[in-house]
Amino acid sequence: MELELQALVTLAKEIAQYNIPDGSRKINGKYIQSHLHSRLEAMHVKLKEQIKDVDAAQSKEVSLFWYGMAESVHVMGTFDGWSQGEQLSPEYDGSFTKFTTTLMLRPGRYNPTS
């Protein structure tokens, strides 16, 4: 969608540079071709900002690990509303166990507990 809007902006800019025929309509003191270009350019800027905001809010994989002696380990926190939590998978190395998991989290600060 952004590429389509950029193409329209470029096309409107080109049209706005043509000779303006006598009797052409004006909007707010600008010929309609220039007005169209300005409006499309403003929409393009807003759309790019919104796309950037959406990308920033996308969930990302976050790997967690904990070393220790335990039969099972769960992590819970504000990321899941302090509900059931997420179980970590154990990997025994002979003396300690490494528990790991991967969570899909949106950018932000979380208060976890295990």
Give the model confidence (pLDDT) of 61-87 as tens digits.
999 999 988 888 988 888 777 888 889
pLDDT at 89 over 90: yes
- Based on C-alpha coordinates, what's the Rg of the chain? 27
User: Which pLDDT band holds residue 112 (cuts at 50, 70, 90)?
Assistant: low
Which amino acid does the sequence have at 38?
S
User: Where in the chain are the domains?
Assistant: 2-56, 60-113
The phi-psi region of residue 8 (left if phi > 0; otherwise alpha if psi is between -120 and 50; otherwise beta) is: alpha
pTM of the model: 0.48
The answer to whether 59 and 106 are in contact (CB under 8 A) is yes
pLDDT at 47 over 80: yes
- Nearest alpha-carbon partner for 114 in 91, 79, 85: 85
Supply angle C-alpha 73, 78, 80, rounded to 5. 65
